[in-house]
Amino acid sequence: MGNKNIVFDVVGTLVGYEKLYEVIEARLGPKMRAQGIEPTSMFGYMWIEVAEREYTYLSMSGAYVPYAQVFESIFWHMLWKAGIQEPRKFATSEDLAVIMEDGYKKMEMRSGAKECVQKLRGAGFTVWAFTMGDLSRVGGYFKQAGIDMPAEHLKSCDSSKIGKPDPEAYRPLLKQLSSDGSLPWFAAAHMWDVSAARRTGRIISPKVDGPFINNSYILRFNDYEYDYLIPRHDGSIVVGGARRDYYNDLGEWFGNSDDSKLMENAKGYFDGYMQRHFQGWEDSEAFTDSVWTGIMGYSSDGFPHVGAIPDKPGQFICAGFSGHGMPQVFLSAKAIATMIAKGKDVEEVDLPRLYRVSKERVNSQQEHATLSAWKRVFEQPMPKL
Ligand SMILES: Cc1cc2nc3c(=O)[nH]c(=O)nc-3n(C[C@H](O)[C@H](O)[C@H](O)COP(=O)(O)OP(=O)(O)OC[C@H]3O[C@@H](n4cnc5c(N)ncnc54)[C@H](O)[C@@H]3O)c2cc1C
């Protein structure tokens, strides 16, 4: 059963800008046109877009200002940018007040928005709204359209004073709605809104002032068991490892080339991980928001195969990096590209000897190095007490 929560962005997604454009047109339309300015979809839209950027940058710099305030305050600047030499003579404070009151605050739900919400609710979804706008104005848009939006389902960035699309802004809601391990749906007209909403973290700490790690870490527990942590700028941490929970079950992972299926044994391994291992994270409420399985291609002798495939003219291979491809693939790829483009033999390119493909290596009957390593761990006699 998927997550039955859907979070809508409001202005620009459910609510359209037409009413705002209408009032700009009524107050200033002819005057603007006389100056060669298209008042609605050009001036109006530019005003909205610039306000969004200012709002976001102010939030990023730690100086959060509610969106409506930003929007109103840049009006004169926008006129000037549109080519009006003396904005305050061109428009009056009353013009601005009317545009804000009758246009901006009275924007309307797009046609079909109400039915959309009703259909989703009918299908068992709980509908949420998460806005950069203030609660009273945005709540008013729903009321005006006759859509019941309970106060507890309507959230604003004003509460945390962190603007979209900062992933921090989505965290509290994302955490609240993904407690069963599945992710809620985000619906937004802006690409950045949805992408920031969905991308938040692997392990994430929901508290705005929660702990943060600056460095990457490897936590090694014994010869064969270790995890690694890579912090990201949004405060989330990409983690890997989890051998404790799957390594002993050879059939679960060895020879498995299907990474479309999650390894069930390891699914819960990273739950509570930061709380267990890092001081200062005990009350962080950090949780795992995504888990996936990745297949690593290990060669039987532990070295990659790079070069022309024996007995298959015209076919080359560059694979088997055995979980350590990052520092090796670039120069290996350069070597193979030189072989193909310049017709060089493997001996003539810059490539470690042990990486060269050969019939002996391909046909080797030697036990797979990964299997031997596993046997050393699980099949060695227990030490006597
Ligand atoms: C969970 C996990 C953790 C890892 N951690 C590390 C690590 O910490 N350090 C490290 O060094 N390495 C690590 N690796 C290994 C590393 O990711 C690989 O060794 C490396 O990515 C191999 O690079 P590659 O270019 O050979 O292959 P890949 O990165 O796999 O690239 C192959 C590309 O080919 C594309 N492709 C496949 N079939 C086709 C097709 N028919 N047509 C067109 N395109 C196709 C694929 O989409 C992919 O983009 C890890 C791997 C996994 C899964």
- The ligand 1 atom at the shortest distance from the C-alpha of residue 327 is 11
**CB 330 less than 6 A from any atom of ligand 1:** no
For the segment 137-153, the average pLDDT, to the nearest whole number, is 93
Tell me the average pLDDT of the chain: 89
Check residue 298 and give its pLDDT: 93
pTM, full prediction: 0.52
Distance 374 CA to ligand 1 centre (A): 23
- The ligand 1 atom at the shortest distance from the C-alpha of residue 325 is 19
Go through the chain and tell me how many residues it has: 385
**CB 337 less than 6 A from any atom of ligand 1:** no
C-alpha dihedral sign at 146, 148, 151, 156: negative
**CB 331 less than 6 A from any atom of ligand 1:** no
Check residue 198 and give its pLDDT: 53
pLDDT at 200 over 80: no
Q: Which residue has the higher pLDDT, 106 or 262?
A: 106
**CB 323 less than 6 A from any atom of ligand 1:** yes
Task: Give 202's pLDDT tier (boundaries 50, 70, 90).
Answer: low
Query: What single-letter amino acid sits at 269?
Result: Y
Task: Give 201's pLDDT tier (boundaries 50, 70, 90).
Answer: very low
**CB 257 less than 6 A from any atom of ligand 1:** no
Distance 306 CA to ligand 1 centre (A): 15
Structure tokens at 55: 């709002």
Alpha carbon of 199 to those of 136, 166, 253, 295: distances in Å? 29, 11, 27, 22
Determine the residue of 230, 246, 326 to mutate for testing ligand 1's pocket, defined as the one with the most ligand atoms within 8 A of the Cβ atom.
326
Compute the distance between CA of residue 272 and CA of residue 62 in angstroms, rounded to an integer: 30
Nearest to 144 by CA among 185, 102, 181, 173: 102
For the segment 197-223, the average pLDDT, to the nearest whole number, is 73
Distance 375 CA to ligand 1 centre (A): 26
User: pLDDT digits over 94-128, tens only?
Assistant: 999 999 999 999 999 999 999 999 999 999 999 99
Phi, psi torsion values for 279, nearest 5 degrees: -70, 145
Secondary structure, 3-state, the chain:
CCCCEEEECCECCCECCHHHHHHHHHHHHHHHHHCCCCHHHHHHHHHHHHHHHHHHHHHHCCCCCCHHHHHHHCHHHHHHHCCCCCHHHHCCHHHHHHHHHHHHHHCCECCCHHHHHHHHHHCCCEEEEEECCCHHHHHHHHHHCCCCCCHHHEEEHHHHCCCCCCHHHHHHHHHHHCCCCCCCEEECCCHHHHHHHHHCCCEECCCCCCCCCCCCEEEECCCCCEEEEEECCCCCEEEECCHHHHCCCHHHHCCCCCCCCCCHHHCCCCCCHHHHHCCCCCCCCCEECCCCCCCCCCCCCCCCEEEECCCCCCCEEEECCCCCCCCCHHHHHHHHHHHHHHCCCHHHCCCCHHHECCHHHHHCCCCCHHHHHHHHHHCCCCCCC
**CB 326 less than 6 A from any atom of ligand 1:** yes
Distance 38 CA to ligand 1 centre (A): 50
Indicate which residue's Cα is closest to atom 17 of ligand 1: 325
Tell me the CB-side half-sphere exposure of residue 285, using CA atoms within 13 A: 12
Compute the distance between CA of residue 76 and CA of residue 375 in angstroms, rounded to an integer: 74
- The ligand 1 atom at the shortest distance from the C-alpha of residue 259 is 53
Domains of the chain, earliest start first: 1-200 (3.40.50), 202-295 (no CATH), 305-379 (no CATH)
Task: Give 1's pLDDT tier (boundaries 50, 70, 90).
Answer: very low
Distance 36 CA to ligand 1 centre (A): 54
**CB 321 less than 6 A from any atom of ligand 1:** yes
Check residue 196 and give its pLDDT: 63
Cα separation of the two ends of the chain: 50
Q: Which residues contact 303 (CB under 8 A, 6 or more apart)?
A: 320, 322, 354, 355
Taking phi over 0 as left and psi of -120 to 50 as alpha, with beta for the rest, 356 belongs to beta
**CB 292 less than 6 A from any atom of ligand 1:** no
Distance 27 CA to ligand 1 centre (A): 59
User: pLDDT digits over 322-353, tens only?
Assistant: 999 999 999 999 999 999 999 999 999 999 99
